Amino acid sequence: MRGIDVHYVDRGVGYPLLFVHGHPFDHTLWEPQVRALAGRGFRVIAPDLRGYGRSSVVPGATTMDDFARDQAALLEYLGLDAVGLVGASLGGQVALELCRLFPDRVDSLILSATDPHAETEQGRASRRAVAARLCAQGMRSYADEMLVGMMTAANVRALPAVADHVRAMMYAAPPEGAAAALRGRAERLDQLPLLRRISAPTLLVAGREDVFTPPGLAEAMHVRIPDSTVEIVEGAGHLPNLERPERFNEVLRRFLERSRTRLSRTGT
């Protein structure tokens, strides 16, 4: 679709959920959620974004517009009009872009570790520099440096299997695809003005110890998004869905059940 091959998993039947992973990961970021939800009243769809996992690697720059239109094309291919949309970090920014471009396709929204701001000049320079580094050196040293940060140092020690999974996803990310995403992300639009226009019920999730997207960002988004709630996950960093999956899944399931009930009452 859209000139590329997109790899995705599609499990279960019921209310459709589209899970969008962050950088530099793939669809297996969502394994605990797929196991918890698929076949229990939910249809779980988790793609690899272009440039990641088993989807096509496209050089240059992959913009938020590119990522969002890919997701809309996938929904079209699957015959789905609207879904519950779940995004983490970069995936949350993609989810917001999908809300901007195709608001009717989103009937509930879950954003984890998401920053809606445009990149700063310093941030743009940093992302371009990292993109160049990945193309020149590959993923391994970058992944080793980023592991503590993606997870808290305490969780890296206490959850070695989770740390190994996170490290393996980063090692396996195609450098050219990850670099293209970084270049596109450097030029992303300010999504703050969009927040007040989001009509879908929205859940904002943050890890208490997230150093990249601190909980204050979720609280600030909550003030702007009309129908939103915030959940802060204790003992988690940037990846609360992996670091505290039981808590994340509980929060997610409760929100989705409540949202489905409300949507059915209004006939949407």
Q: Any idea where the domains of the chain sit in the sequence?
A: 8-266
pLDDT reported for residue 263? 56
Tell me: pLDDT of 264 over 60.
Answer: no
pTM of the model: 0.96
pLDDT reported for residue 39? 86
The string over 130-150, giving b where at least 16 C-beta atoms fall within 10 Å of a residue's C-beta and e elsewhere, is bbebbeeeebeebbeebbbeb
**115: Cβ contacts below 8 Å, ≥ 6 apart:** 89, 92, 93, 212, 213, 217
Q: What is the pLDDT of residues 190-241, one digit of tens each?
A: 999 999 999 999 999 999 999 999 999 999 999 999 999 999 999 999 999 9
Q: Give the mean model confidence (pLDDT) for residues 71-99.
A: 98
8-266 placed in CATH 3.90.15.10: no
